[in-house]
Amino acid sequence: MKSNVKLTKSLRLSDIVFIGLAWMTPMVYFTVFGISFETSGGMITQAYLLAFVAIFFTACNYGIMSRTFPTSGSAYTYVAKSMHPNLGFVVGWAVLLDYFFSPLIASLSFGIYLNAQFPSVPVYIWITLLNVAITVINIMGIKISANISKIFVWIQILFILLFSAFLIRNLNGGMNVFQPFQTDAPFSAVLAGSALICFCFLGFDAITTMSEEAIDAKRTIPKAVIVMISIALIVYFIPSYLTQLVFPNVTFSNADTAGFEIVKMAGGAFLSAVFITVLILATFTQGLTSLTSVSRLLYVMGRDSVLPKRFFGYLHPKYKTPVINIAIGAIFSMLAIVISLESAVKFVSFGALTAFTFVNLSVIFQKFIKEKKRSPRQTVLYLIFPLIGAAFIGWLLTLLDLDALMMGGIWLVFGIGYYLIRKKRIGAGEEHSAIAEENSPIPNPVEL
């Protein structure tokens, strides 16, 4: 199954931004609203702002590293090349949690909301149909995914604007505009909410997995990262601020469906019906683009032989896409049938925050230590900012609940065990080849 086929450079800045936004899914604001609202003690606006601050430093550092190493491996490549290949594998393995569970979350959300509309059709049927559809589209090529993403992202943004308009309509003239920032909730709760809400900004890191398919990746990818998180801040801050302003003491019957409840409270049956339609489209594109990302990360790890190259490093000769990896990601997403939304979000948060911490550190190792860029301006960019980003993200990682840390830790132990066994086998194979070569008879020059 050898292949000399390469990924095709076809993505422009707007394509990449919309793929990232589709991966992030602006409608995720509603999907995780209940969980993030409860975790942050109701201070969801503050939690979003803190998450953005943490993400901003990290996003800038992703931009620096994508300019330095314009390949599709994202955090795995950056850490492996700047720090150490072994550590790169560990980080890559951690970020697989993020990338594997993101299409799973999309599948689960898709199944839950469609089953709510059509109770006679089981959740697993909808999950299966989604995975078949996104697998076929991904195999056909990334440009098709980009075009679909643009349309569906615009629909999501327009719905968030409509939701915000309904909230404004419900405003009381005597309201205190600073009320959303006044709270009795402990700051630790806001931080815990921020750790979870970092999940909502994911997508900027997935952009870097498409470097080898981007036109002029060294310029396009860093720009796309900053544009994407700036748009994300706007589409999250406005509805969260208005929601806290209009419904300061709201409670929900079910955290998983709290987003639907708040939409119904704001706009009644009409907005609820529109919400379901848009959410279905959003989860479809989230599944589509997140499957694209995990397949590219697996491809690079396979190409580097840290995963079996024969399978993971293969590209289809006609479509020039990693078809085996796409199929693996889709099969994994079928676990949405048995895994809860809360558990899946925890896995994603652990993987993402781990990767973010090490990408920040990789800037220091590559730029400040290896390349010795230490002028006053460079010291700020390549030492102080990455340290701030690593410290903040690392702190948020420790604030994840015990279940998330335990599940993530088990995943890392399993990955390290696999890596050590594979490395030992490869080493033994190389040693065996060397002995065989040494003991082989010397060929006759005439025969040569």
Structural domains in the chain plus CATH codes: 13-437 (1.20.1740.10)
DSSP per residue over 227-287, as a string? HHHHHHHHHHHHHHHHHHHH-TT---S-GGGHHHHHHHHHHHHHHHHHHHHHHHHHHHHHH
Q: Which amino acid is at 70?
A: P
Tens-digit pLDDT profile for residues 253-297: 777 778 888 999 999 989 988 998 898 888 898 889 889 888 988
pLDDT of residue 353: 86
The closest alpha carbon to 393, from 344, 346, 360, belongs to: 360
The closest alpha carbon to 236, from 281, 194, 293, belongs to: 194
DSSP 365: I
Contacts of 373 (CB under 8 A, 6+ apart): 367, 382
Q: Which amino acid is at 434?
A: A
Tens-digit pLDDT profile for residues 80-115: 999 999 999 999 899 888 888 888 988 888 888 788
Tens-digit pLDDT profile for residues 372-414: 999 999 999 999 999 998 998 888 788 787 888 898 899 999 9
Measured from the Cβ of residue 194, the count of other Cβ atoms closer than 10 Å reads: 27
Contacts of 12 (CB under 8 A, 6+ apart): 214, 215, 220
Measured from the Cβ of residue 3, the count of other Cβ atoms closer than 10 Å reads: 13
Answer whether residue 431 shows pLDDT above 50.
no
Mean pLDDT of all residues belonging to the chain: 84
Token pair of 333 as six digits: 């997403």
Cα–Cα distance measured from residue 299 to residue 247, given in angstroms and rounded to the nearest whole number: 46
Is the CB of residue 221 less than 8 Å from the CB of residue 208? yes
The closest alpha carbon to 53, from 195, 239, 264, belongs to: 195
What element of type H or E holds 189?
helix 187-197
Half-sphere exposure of residue 86: CA atoms within 13 angstroms, side-chain side: 6
Tell me whether residue 448 is exposed, middle or buried, using C-beta atoms within 10 angstroms of its C-beta: 0 to 12, 13 to 18, 19 or more.
exposed
The closest alpha carbon to 292, from 138, 117, 108, belongs to: 138
pLDDT of residue 173: 65
Is the CB of residue 227 less than 8 Å from the CB of residue 47? no
pLDDT of residue 228: 92
Answer whether residue 175 shows pLDDT above 70.
no
Q: Greatest CA span in the chain, whole angstroms?
A: 99
Answer whether residue 17 shows pLDDT above 50.
yes
Measured from the Cβ of residue 254, the count of other Cβ atoms closer than 10 Å reads: 9
List the single range of 218-222, 348-352, 422-426 with lowest mean pLDDT: 422-426
Answer whether residue 324 shows pLDDT above 50.
yes
The mean pLDDT value for 144-157 works out to 89
List the single range of 86-95, 188-197, 317-326 with lowest mean pLDDT: 188-197
Q: Cα-flanking dihedrals φ and ψ of residue 304, to 5°?
A: -85, 0
